[in-house]
Structure 1
Amino acid sequence: MNDVNVFIAFSKKETALAIAKMVISSGYRVVSVSTNIVDTIHNVSYYKDGVIICDCGKNGAYLKEAIYDLSDDFSVVVIGNREQLAGYSGDRIFKLAVPLKKNDLMCSLDMLSTVESTYVPTINSKNDDEKKMIDRAKRVLIDVYSMTESQAHRYMQKKSMDTGRKMADIARIIIET
């Protein structure tokens, strides 16, 4: 079992339960399932890190404010249509557009959990191959999560500093997941 704390908040109970079932069947620990972001934020306060998976529906207005109050050790996967997702930005926000495929969500969770877990670092100094790998990882973040180039760079830089790994290692994790 993966030891990432996963919190789920969807405006429709059926959707929340379906997402929870999908996440659990993939080996993740779901610690909270609710139909509003307020309950989820309350539950998050008992944990030091994790991933919140939520929709932009009726939670949208409060969600935007709540994200900025979260600890830096939390990431948020926001699911919605492209118009709704356009209103979200930040280093810890990952946007997935509907229709959502199970594989897209699981790959996102895998990437977020792998970046936090132990990983064997590379020994070489930064060379052209590493720079190309970093650029490819930025492209993945831009394409998959609708980040800007600077948001993708800041995300990778922050993960690099938080985990003590080189940016090339973080880039490799992103590309491999």
Structure 2
Amino acid sequence: MFSIIVGFPKYEDAASIKNVLVRNGYNVSEPCTLGAQIVTLANDLDEGIVVCGYRFSDMHYSELNNYLPKGFEMLLVASPQKLEYSQENIVCLRMPVKTHDLLNTLQMMTYQYQRRKKKEKDKPKTRTEEEKNTIEKAKLILMDRNNLTEEEAHRYLQKNSMDSGTNMVEMAEIVIRMFYS
């Protein structure tokens, strides 16, 4: 599930940003004051955004970014001088942060995240060699027993898997079982 983690060295800063986000409909975890707390929390969650300050007592934002799991992005809130040295893959906001800017930036990051997830979901899965061999074996059976071309056998498996609500590999396994039973 998509989550937002807020972390700043001062608890009051983290709590106030969390309250702003919660009031505007975001799901936010407990405020953190250490980089290690953020990393631990992020490892327990699937994916999301870390809204944080420049430096914690235990680590720098760049170290924190390196420790974050794959599904997390960072929104760095810092003074303009500190932002000059920020990394390319981190979204930055200048201090003092305006509520409107914070909400718009989070909305943009959330939208980009959802688009990326949709693209990943729409991308066809790659099949293992074993799955490819199962489909090929079923096509050979259909070609041999029903005098189909390779393309017709493939379309047969595809259509029947769609009609029955199973994936193509499962349909190929059914064809193979029917032939050998």
Q: 1:78 to 1:59 in 2, by over 3 A?
A: farther
| Ranges of 4+ aligned residues in structure 1 off by more than 4 Å | 158-165
Matched, 1:29 2:27: yes
Tell me, yes or no, if the aligned pair for 2:51 and 2:75 is still in contact at 8 Å.
yes
Q: 1:15 to 1:57 in 2, by over 3 A?
A: same
Letter of the structure 2 residue corresponding to residue 63 of structure 1 = Y
Matched, 1:117 2:114: yes
Tell me, yes or no, if the aligned pair for 2:33 and 2:56 is still in contact at 8 Å.
no
Report Cα offsets for 1:111-150 as digits up to 9, x if no partner: 11112236xxxxxxxxxxxxxxxxxxxxxxxxxxxxxxxx
Q: What is aligned with 2:98?
A: 101
Q: 1:86 to 1:162 in 2, by over 3 A?
A: farther
Shift of 1:62: 3.2
Q: What is aligned with 1:18?
A: 16
Gaps of 5+ in 2: 124-181
**Could you tell me the percent identity over the aligned residues?**
20
TM-score normalized by the length of structure 1: 0.61
Q: 1:32 to 1:109 in 2, by over 3 A?
A: same
Tell me, yes or no, if the aligned pair for 1:32 and 1:40 is still in contact at 8 Å.
no
Tell me, yes or no, if the aligned pair for 2:9 and 2:57 is still in contact at 8 Å.
yes
TM-score normalized by the length of structure 2: 0.60
Q: What is aligned with 2:42?
A: 44
Shift of 1:46: 0.6
Shift of 1:60: 8.4
Alpha-carbon distance in structure 1 between the residues aligned to 2:86 and 2:57:
13
Gaps of 5+ in 1: 119-157, 166-177
Q: What is aligned with 2:146?
A: none
Q: 1:110 to 1:82 in 2, by over 3 A?
A: same
Shift of 1:13: 1.0
Q: What is aligned with 2:139?
A: none
Tell me, yes or no, if the aligned pair for 2:36 and 2:58 is still in contact at 8 Å.
no
Shift of 1:58: 3.3
Pair member with larger Rg: 2
Cα root mean square deviation, aligned: 2.5
* Higher share in strand: 1
Match among 55, 65, 79 for residue 53 of structure 2? 55
Greater RCO, 1 or 2 (C-alpha within 8 Å, sep 6+):
1
1:28 match: secondary structure: coil
* Higher share in helix: 2
Tell me, yes or no, if the aligned pair for 1:32 and 1:43 is still in contact at 8 Å.
no
